Amino acid sequence: MPGRHAGLSDVDARLDRTLRNDLGELAAVARDVRAWLQQAGVAEPLSHAVDLALEELVGNTIRYGYDDGDVHRIRVQLELTADELRLTLEDDGRPFDPTRAPEPPRPRSLSEAPPGGRGIPMVRRLFHDMRYQRAPGANRLALSLPRRG
Protein backbone atom coordinates (compact mmCIF):
# COMPACT_ATOMS: atom_id res chain seq x y z
CA MET A 1 0.00 0.00 0.00
CA PRO A 2 1.81 3.15 -1.15
CA GLY A 3 3.06 5.39 1.59
CA ARG A 4 1.79 3.30 4.52
CA HIS A 5 5.05 1.62 5.59
CA ALA A 6 2.81 -1.25 6.58
CA GLY A 7 3.62 -4.92 6.00
CA LEU A 8 7.21 -6.12 5.84
CA SER A 9 6.76 -9.06 3.50
CA ASP A 10 6.95 -6.90 0.38
CA VAL A 11 10.35 -5.42 1.30
CA ASP A 12 13.16 -6.39 -1.10
CA ALA A 13 16.01 -4.65 0.74
CA ARG A 14 16.40 -2.81 4.00
CA LEU A 15 19.07 -0.56 5.53
CA ASP A 16 18.96 0.36 9.21
CA ARG A 17 21.47 2.85 10.66
CA THR A 18 21.66 4.65 13.97
CA LEU A 19 23.76 7.77 14.39
CA ARG A 20 24.54 10.16 17.20
CA ASN A 21 23.42 13.79 17.04
CA ASP A 22 26.62 14.80 15.31
CA LEU A 23 26.91 16.38 11.84
CA GLY A 24 30.10 14.43 11.10
CA GLU A 25 28.25 11.16 11.75
CA LEU A 26 25.40 12.34 9.55
CA ALA A 27 27.83 12.94 6.66
CA ALA A 28 29.23 9.39 7.11
CA VAL A 29 25.77 7.79 7.23
CA ALA A 30 24.67 9.80 4.19
CA ARG A 31 27.70 8.43 2.29
CA ASP A 32 26.73 4.86 3.29
CA VAL A 33 23.16 5.46 2.21
CA ARG A 34 24.22 6.82 -1.19
CA ALA A 35 26.46 3.79 -1.78
CA TRP A 36 23.68 1.39 -0.72
CA LEU A 37 21.12 3.04 -2.99
CA GLN A 38 23.54 2.98 -5.93
CA GLN A 39 24.28 -0.70 -5.37
CA ALA A 40 20.55 -1.41 -5.20
CA GLY A 41 20.09 0.24 -8.60
CA VAL A 42 17.85 3.02 -7.32
CA ALA A 43 17.33 5.81 -9.85
CA GLU A 44 19.34 9.00 -9.29
CA PRO A 45 16.36 11.31 -8.60
CA LEU A 46 15.21 9.02 -5.77
CA SER A 47 18.69 8.73 -4.33
CA HIS A 48 18.96 12.52 -4.50
CA ALA A 49 15.66 12.91 -2.62
CA VAL A 50 16.88 10.64 0.19
CA ASP A 51 20.19 12.51 0.31
CA LEU A 52 18.36 15.82 0.64
CA ALA A 53 16.01 14.47 3.33
CA LEU A 54 18.95 13.31 5.44
CA GLU A 55 20.80 16.61 5.05
CA GLU A 56 17.77 18.79 5.77
CA LEU A 57 15.66 16.79 8.25
CA VAL A 58 18.31 14.92 10.24
CA GLY A 59 20.55 18.01 10.02
CA ASN A 60 17.75 20.11 11.53
CA THR A 61 17.22 17.56 14.31
CA ILE A 62 20.92 17.64 15.17
CA ARG A 63 21.08 21.46 15.10
CA TYR A 64 17.78 22.38 16.74
CA GLY A 65 16.12 19.25 18.11
CA TYR A 66 17.64 18.97 21.56
CA ASP A 67 17.55 21.21 24.61
CA ASP A 68 20.46 19.52 26.38
CA GLY A 69 24.08 18.86 25.47
CA ASP A 70 23.69 15.10 25.76
CA VAL A 71 24.36 12.42 23.19
CA HIS A 72 21.18 11.25 21.44
CA ARG A 73 20.47 8.57 18.88
CA ILE A 74 18.76 9.10 15.53
CA ARG A 75 17.55 6.10 13.54
CA VAL A 76 17.48 6.07 9.74
CA GLN A 77 15.69 3.21 8.00
CA LEU A 78 15.34 2.62 4.28
CA GLU A 79 13.18 0.02 2.63
CA LEU A 80 12.89 -0.85 -1.03
CA THR A 81 9.95 -2.67 -2.50
CA ALA A 82 9.27 -3.33 -6.15
CA ASP A 83 7.11 -0.21 -6.24
CA GLU A 84 8.32 2.10 -3.54
CA LEU A 85 11.22 3.60 -1.63
CA ARG A 86 10.47 4.23 2.06
CA LEU A 87 12.53 6.32 4.43
CA THR A 88 11.76 6.46 8.15
CA LEU A 89 13.48 8.84 10.58
CA GLU A 90 13.16 8.50 14.34
CA ASP A 91 14.62 10.72 17.04
CA ASP A 92 14.02 11.53 20.71
CA GLY A 93 14.22 15.29 20.24
CA ARG A 94 11.66 17.97 20.94
CA PRO A 95 8.31 17.33 19.25
CA PHE A 96 8.51 18.68 15.71
CA ASP A 97 6.23 17.94 12.78
CA PRO A 98 7.91 19.00 9.51
CA THR A 99 4.72 18.27 7.56
CA ARG A 100 3.16 21.27 9.33
CA ALA A 101 6.15 23.62 9.14
CA PRO A 102 4.97 26.82 7.44
CA GLU A 103 6.14 27.69 3.94
CA PRO A 104 8.43 30.73 3.94
CA PRO A 105 6.78 33.77 2.34
CA ARG A 106 7.75 34.40 -1.28
CA PRO A 107 10.07 37.43 -1.23
CA ARG A 108 9.29 40.18 -3.69
CA SER A 109 12.95 40.99 -4.22
CA LEU A 110 16.44 39.68 -3.56
CA SER A 111 17.01 42.24 -0.83
CA GLU A 112 13.91 41.06 1.08
CA ALA A 113 14.74 37.35 0.84
CA PRO A 114 15.40 35.70 4.21
CA PRO A 115 18.64 33.73 4.30
CA GLY A 116 17.15 30.39 5.38
CA GLY A 117 13.97 28.38 5.91
CA ARG A 118 14.09 26.53 2.58
CA GLY A 119 15.22 23.05 3.59
CA ILE A 120 11.92 21.50 4.66
CA PRO A 121 9.97 22.92 1.68
CA MET A 122 12.64 21.49 -0.65
CA VAL A 123 12.13 18.03 0.87
CA ARG A 124 8.32 18.32 0.83
CA ARG A 125 8.41 19.01 -2.91
CA LEU A 126 10.37 15.82 -3.60
CA PHE A 127 8.47 13.21 -1.57
CA HIS A 128 5.02 12.08 -2.61
CA ASP A 129 4.05 11.07 0.89
CA MET A 130 5.28 12.39 4.25
CA ARG A 131 3.65 11.36 7.55
CA TYR A 132 4.54 12.43 11.05
CA GLN A 133 3.75 10.63 14.26
CA ARG A 134 4.64 11.67 17.79
CA ALA A 135 5.21 8.48 19.74
CA PRO A 136 5.93 8.71 23.50
CA GLY A 137 9.20 10.63 23.70
CA ALA A 138 9.96 10.30 19.99
CA ASN A 139 9.38 11.87 16.60
CA ARG A 140 8.72 9.43 13.76
CA LEU A 141 8.61 10.65 10.18
CA ALA A 142 7.78 8.29 7.31
CA LEU A 143 8.49 9.42 3.74
CA SER A 144 7.96 7.54 0.52
CA LEU A 145 8.41 7.77 -3.21
CA PRO A 146 7.30 5.52 -6.07
CA ARG A 147 10.25 3.63 -7.63
CA ARG A 148 9.06 4.45 -11.14
CA GLY A 149 7.56 7.52 -12.71
Partner 1 sequence: MELQVIEQTAAFTHVALVGRLDTPGVDRVETRFNAALVNPRRHAIVDLSAVEFLSSMGVRMLLAAAKALGRSGTRLVLVAPRPLVEGALRHSAIDELIPVRADLAAAREACLGATPA
Q: Which of 39, 67, 106, 137 binds partner 1 (CB under 8 A)?
A: 106
Q: Which of 94, 118, 128, 134 binds partner 1 (CB under 8 A)?
A: 118
Residue 30, judged by CB atoms within 10 A of its CB (0-12, 13-18, 19+), counts as buried
Sheet with 129-135, edge to edge strand ranges:
13-20, 73-80, 84-91, 138-146, 129-135
Q: Which of 52, 72, 131, 140 binds partner 1 (CB under 8 A)?
A: 52
Neighbours of 26 (CB within 10 A): 20
Told to check if 131 binds partner 1 by CB under 8 A, we report no
As measured in angstroms, the least distance from the Cβ of 42 to partner 1 is 14
Site string for partner 1, 2-31 (x = CB under 8 A): ---------------------x---x----
Told to check if 122 binds partner 1 by CB under 8 A, we report yes
CA 73-17-79 angle, to 5 degrees, is: 130
Task: Name the amino acid, one letter, at 95.
Answer: P
**Closest Cα to residue 38, out of 53, 27, 30?**
30
Binding residues (CB under 8 A) for partner 1: these are 23, 27, 44-45, 48, 51-52, 55-56, 59, 106-107, 109-111, 113, 115-116, 118-119, 121-122, 125-126
